[in-house]
Amino acid sequence: MLEPEELIDSRIGVHDDNQFEVKLDYAIDPTGRRSRYVVETYLFLPRSLGVDPHSYRREQFYSDIQAYIRFKTPTISLRALADEGNESSPLNQMLELMPTIGRDTAPDLDGGLGHEVRLFGCLVKVGVRDQVSVLRDRVAALAGHAQHRPVLVEDIDRLAIRLAEDVSAVLERFRGYRADFVLPRRAAWIQELFAYADEFISLSVERYFTRFIAALDENQAVRDACEAGRAKIVERILAEQAHRKGAGYDSIIDGVRGSARYVHRNSALKKFMSSVLFLDMTKQTVGRRITNIGAGIAAAVAMLFSTVAAIWSQNRYGINSYPFVFALVISYVFKDRIKEWLRTYFNQQFSRFLWDYSVTIRDPANDAEVGRCREMFSFTDPDSVPRPVYDARHDDATGVLEPKSKQEIILKYVKEITLRGRSIAANHGRLLDVNDIIRFNVSSLLARMDDPVRTVETFDAKTGTIRPVTCPKSYHVNVVMVLRAVSGPSSYERFRVVLDKSGIRELHEVGHSQGELEAPAPSRELEVAVAE
Q: Where are the domains of the chain?
A: 4-52+364-509, 78-278, 287-351
Give the three-state DSSP class for 106.
Answer: coil
Per DSSP (E only), the strands in 31-156 are 35-46, 65-71
Closest CA to 69 of 525, 434, 428: 434
Q: In the prediction, which pLDDT does 407 show?
A: 83
Q: Hey, what's the torsion of the CAs at 215, 219, 222, 227, to 10 degrees?
A: 70
Helix axes 288-317, 322-351, angle to 10 degrees: 160
Q: In what order do the strands lie in the sheet with 19-26?
A: 11-16, 19-26, 434-441, 65-71
Q: pTM surpassing 0.85?
A: no
Q: In the prediction, which pLDDT does 518 show?
A: 42
DSSP letters of 474-528? -EEEEEEEEEEETTS-EEEEEEEEEEETTEEEEEEE-S--BS--PSS--B-----
Asked if 411 contacts 45 with a C-beta cutoff of 8 angstroms, the reply is yes
DSSP tally for the chain: helices H, then strands E? 16, 14
DSSP letters of 5-34? GGPPP-EEEEEETTEEEEEEEEPP-TTSS-
Compute mean pLDDT per 10 residues along the chain, 532 residues long, and list them. Answer: 37 78 81 81 90 89 89 85 84 83 72 86 93 93 85 93 95 90 83 92 95 92 91 95 90 67 86 88 69 71 78 76 76 76 65 77 80 89 88 80 79 89 70 82 86 83 87 88 78 88 85 47 42 39
Residues 328 and 310: their CA atoms lie apart, in Å, by: 6
Strand partners, 455: 470
Closest CA to 417 of 116, 104, 69, 125: 69
Q: Hey, what's the torsion of the CAs at 252, 258, 264, 265, to 10 degrees?
A: -30
Residues 277 and 15: their CA atoms lie apart, in Å, by: 19
DSSP state of 448: T
Asked if 498 contacts 504 with a C-beta cutoff of 8 angstroms, the reply is yes
Asked if 132 contacts 214 with a C-beta cutoff of 8 angstroms, the reply is no
Residues 290 and 267: their CA atoms lie apart, in Å, by: 45
Closest CA to 224 of 311, 153, 322: 153
Residues 45 and 444: their CA atoms lie apart, in Å, by: 12
Asked if 63 contacts 69 with a C-beta cutoff of 8 angstroms, the reply is no
Residues 173 and 168: their CA atoms lie apart, in Å, by: 9
Asked if 12 contacts 480 with a C-beta cutoff of 8 angstroms, the reply is no
Residues 477 and 407: their CA atoms lie apart, in Å, by: 12
Which positions ≥6 away from 24 have C-beta within 8 Å? 10, 39, 435, 436, 437, 438, 483, 522, 524
Cis amide bond preceding 90, omega within 30: no
Q: In the prediction, which pLDDT does 251 show?
A: 78
Residues 166 and 174: their CA atoms lie apart, in Å, by: 12
Residues 66 and 439: their CA atoms lie apart, in Å, by: 5
Q: What angle do CA 40, 46, 49 make, to 5 degrees?
A: 115
Residues 336 and 215: their CA atoms lie apart, in Å, by: 71
3-state helix, strand, coil in the chain (%, to 5): 50, 25, 30
Q: Report phi then psi at 431, rounded to 5.
A: -115, 95
Helix axes 112-141, 255-274, angle to 10 degrees: 110
Closest CA to 169 of 86, 66, 230, 245: 86
